[in-house]
Amino acid sequence: MFKSQVALAIASLAIFSSHAADLDYGFNDNVLACKGDSVNVNWEGFHNIHETLGSSCDSGDMGEIEGYLENGTGKTYSNDELSAAPGERRYFKCSAHCGVQSSRFEVYCPPVEVDYGFNNNVLACKGDSVKVNWKGFHNIHESVGSGCDSGDMGEIETYYSSGHAETYSSDELSAAPGERRYFKCSAHCGVQSSRFEVYCPSVEVDYGFNNNVLACKGDSVKVNWKGYHNIHETKGSGCDSGDMGEVETYWKGGTEKTFLNDELSAAPGERRYFKCSAHCGEEASRFEVYCPVEIDYGFNNNVLACTGTSIRVNWKGFHNIHETKGSGCDSGDLGEKETYLSSGHTETYSSDELSAAPGERRYFKCSAHCGEEASRFETYCPSADVCSGLNKKKCKLVKDSCSFGKSKIFTGCKAKKTKYVHDCAQHDNEDMCAEDNYHKGLCKFGTTGLCSHVCEHLGNKTCRKFKNTHDNKKTCKPIKQKNPCKGCKPKGSCSIPQ
């Protein structure tokens, strides 16, 4: 999973209310500004803003945020250029005038805090640090659900005494978008004691128009209808680019619905396109969902990333990115793509800086640390004709480059017979949803806080086997359509799952 970014790609899921931080630049080593906060900078000298690795002026440069501006200038930064993630501290200086207590500033955001104790509503998304304050002699054991006996998933932390505090910065206790995780003390767990729950809101789409929604496989996507629309998947961004099937029927403006089973999420390196069949326009009644390819840098000599693919690089050392002519570190330089950044930094490249054309392989290294299997990576894209005409057996022989699509694909689940049809969404709360034994076993009230039909969001196999609680008969049937990706195709060339 990827850390959520900004509203609609996913709202910048800061644990603090968004506010504006004022900064006199000057010197200030304690500016509180979390993701989603605006930062107002008031220049008190002729300075640029250059990010560094640490508080020291010579701690290592990470890149210029703003060019030189005159004394008295005021400027507001609203896109997280100067804000910090929970548990993070960032450092900025003037390249020309930085001193121990002059012409520099530091921005921080406190980690998410859990008093353990009991807390069943901790907001902490992937990438957020979580600080736990022990309120008794407890270990931290993950469980399947909120019940103490719901099933164990493994110990995260050993027993510590009351008063101990520990910060977790590698997603040990954070959640993916739309996910809720459960933690308990193995010895002392109770309904409202010695346990806590962590959640992250779903990715949100105002539908409407949005051509840059970040939602990877496993992420939940919440759609807020802004007009009377259905959701129909298309082959490209154009309204007439070719239909791939209806994902959701028409709903009126004001409807909210959460999709939990990858109906609207994308695989790494994939971009998917959705429109309203009736109202789609170039910048109206459609949205696009993408997920970047991930590279741990590090070493990786086989990254599949074709032209148009977003690539997210996770730094595993102090490296720059320099393109070379071949796999050898001394094979010949083609130019620097990125300056030196420190371990832990992440950056997404969406303009083909690192992706390859069909039939091409590209080579990238760290100028200082490159080795045969260290501090370099390679990206490639298979030739357009590698997969064409291959049968299923031969297609599997080139599975690194190709995938074989079935003739028909599963696109959803619906009521098997008319008698099993019921508009569960009309019931506004859990009590109304539960009336008449959940309307003769046809409705369910989920963790999203919505009443929905029992067939919604079921997978293919579950859909076929599902029986309602009223007559104990099979209730649902799969929705299938012709697969536009039928046959042997290059990996990543089709957005419908194979």
Q: Residue 314 maps to which CATH number?
A: 2.60.40.420
Q: What is the pLDDT of residue 1?
A: 35
Q: Domain span at residue 218?
A: 203-291
Residue 332 belongs to a domain: yes
Last residue of a domain, one of 152, 171, 199: 199
Q: Calculate mean pLDDT across residues 103-119.
A: 90
Q: Which range scores top for mean pLDDT: 145-154, 397-406, 481-490? A: 145-154
Residue 207 belongs to a domain: yes
Kindly tell me if the per-residue pLDDT of 463 is higher than 90. yes
Closest among 313, 239, 329, 326 to 276, alpha carbons compared: 239
242 and 310: one domain?
A: no
285 and 306: one domain?
A: no
337 and 363: one domain?
A: yes
Residue 287 belongs to a domain: yes
Per-residue pLDDT band at 304 (split at 50, 70, 90): confident
**Helix, strand, coil fractions of the chain, as percent rounded to 5:** 5, 45, 50
Number of structural domains the chain divides into: 5
125 and 88: one domain?
A: no
155 and 180: one domain?
A: yes
265 and 310: one domain?
A: no
Last residue of a domain, one of 148, 177, 199: 199
Cα-Cα end-to-end distance for the chain = 21
Q: What is the pLDDT of residue 492?
A: 59
307 and 343: one domain?
A: yes
Q: Calculate mean pLDDT across residues 414-437.
A: 90
Closest among 119, 124, 118 to 172, alpha carbons compared: 124
Per-residue pLDDT band at 411 (split at 50, 70, 90): confident
Q: What is the pLDDT of residue 136?
A: 92
Last residue of a domain, one of 199, 226, 258: 199
Q: Calculate mean pLDDT across residues 329-339.
A: 92
Kindly tell me if the per-residue pLDDT of 7 is higher than 60. no
| Average pLDDT of the chain, as a whole number | 86
Q: What is the spatial distance between Cα 131 and Cα 34, in angstroms, rounded to a whole number?
A: 16
Residue 399 belongs to a domain: no
225 and 159: one domain?
A: no
39 and 95: one domain?
A: yes
58 and 97: one domain?
A: yes
Kindly tell me if the per-residue pLDDT of 3 is higher than 70. no
87 and 116: one domain?
A: no
Residue 488 belongs to a domain: no
pLDDT, tens digit (0-9, with 9 covering 90-100), for 9-19: 222 333 334 45
284 and 300: one domain?
A: no
Kindly tell me if the per-residue pLDDT of 210 is higher than 70. yes
Residue 449 belongs to a domain: yes
pLDDT, tens digit (0-9, with 9 covering 90-100), for 260-300: 888 998 888 788 999 999 999 988 999 999 888 888 888 99
Residue 430 belongs to a domain: yes
Per-residue pLDDT band at 239 (split at 50, 70, 90): very high
Question: Quick check: 413 and 457 in contact, CB under 8 A?
Answer: yes
Residue 186 belongs to a domain: yes
* pTM for the full predicted model: 0.50
